[in-house]
Structure 1
Amino acid sequence: MPELPERSKWQQEAPPIEFANEPDFLAFVQTVLDAHMEEMTKHGGYAIEKGDEGPRVQSVVASTFLSSFGQSPADRFADIFDQAAAFAYYLVRDHPFGDGNKRTAIRIALAMVGLRGVKLNISDSPNPWQNDLYQWIEALVSGELTQEALAANLRGRAHS
């Protein structure tokens, strides 16, 4: 199947992120943990701690941002959208937090895209049924949307 022109554009303009050292990796893990805490403080939810959040978030971040079995993130992900969708998928599936996993996953995924200087045109309606992000993350959790489809949705709303 031929590669879509839009996808190849973003491979050049918004490549995946890779952490080359442990301090950057650990700082990003802490960023995810902090983002989760901010979501819980701002929007509420069950503040139940499982006790293994840190290692589970480390696992998700490692699988998304570090080389694995000789493959860098650039080898595994076509662009930042594929990587952000994978991160969101892994975080909601692993469910490291008692509550707020979906909110944290989409917040970090959007931040990843933003780190590459990409802007997204996405509805942010307070009504969940009119909010694209809410619909996408719910569909990702239920299995109605694949991580590849989430990446395509993000890519389709992107502009530089």
Structure 2
Amino acid sequence: MIAWLQKDFVLAIHHHQIGRYGGQAGVRSEPTLDTVLAPPQRRRAARSTAPDIIDLAAHLAFGLAHLRPFRDGNLRTAQISYRLFLACNGMTVTTGNEEKYQHLQALAEGRLSQQEFADWLRTRVRVELRVNDAGAGYVLD
């Protein structure tokens, strides 16, 4: 089962990041945010070979960082969201914050493709064997 981040949870992440680090709060484009959050589930259902968790995390990071659905704080929201998505699915990114930021910045600026970001993530993820309990921020599929 895959644990998906729900829209209200991503909005809470964004709100927290703006409150803590500053910037203009709010959604710039509701349809863009919906597009960013919905396709991983549809993509998984539509493909004969389902994308794995890493592909889905890269899609989420790309959508939030590159498509910029929020007025401000898109990179911060993307950074927390893709890492929480991985954590909810039993994975941890094992590299330092600077490397994570540099790769996300490159993804946002188009210097790194979504697939290249996924390939980088594959070399930096550790699987955590644990039981995830359903929480308010994600839904098991």
Instruction: Output the TM-score relative to the length of structure 2.
Output: 0.77
More helix, by proportion: 1
| Aligned partner (choices 117, 120, 129) of residue 153 of structure 1 | 120
After superposition, where does 1:8-157 map in structure 2 within 5 Å?
17=2, 28-47=6-25, 50=28, 52-53=29-30, 55-66=31-42, 71=46, 75-77=49-51, 79-124=52-97, 131-157=98-124
- 1:59-80: CA deviations, max 9, x gaps? 2111122358x605x8441x11
CA separation of 1:138 and 1:115: change in aligned 2, threshold 3 A: same
1:47 aligned counterpart, secondary structure: coil
**Residue identity opposite 1:90 in structure 2:** G
Contact kept in structure 1, 2:68 and 2:74, CA below 8 Å = yes
- Aligned residues between the structures: 127
Contact kept in structure 1, 2:107 and 2:117, CA below 8 Å = yes
Instruction: Output the TM-score relative to the length of structure 1.
Output: 0.69
More strand, by proportion: 2
- 1:9-66: CA deviations, max 9, x gaps? xxxxxx8x376xxxxxxx701111111001101111123653x43x432221111223
Output the CA distance in 2 between the equivalents of 1:76 and 1:87: 15
Q: Percent identity?
A: 30
Output the CA distance in 2 between the equivalents of 1:31 and 1:91: 14
How much does 1:89 deviate? 0.8
Max Rg structure: 1
Greater relative contact order (Cα < 8 A, sep 6+): 2
1:122 aligned counterpart, secondary structure: coil
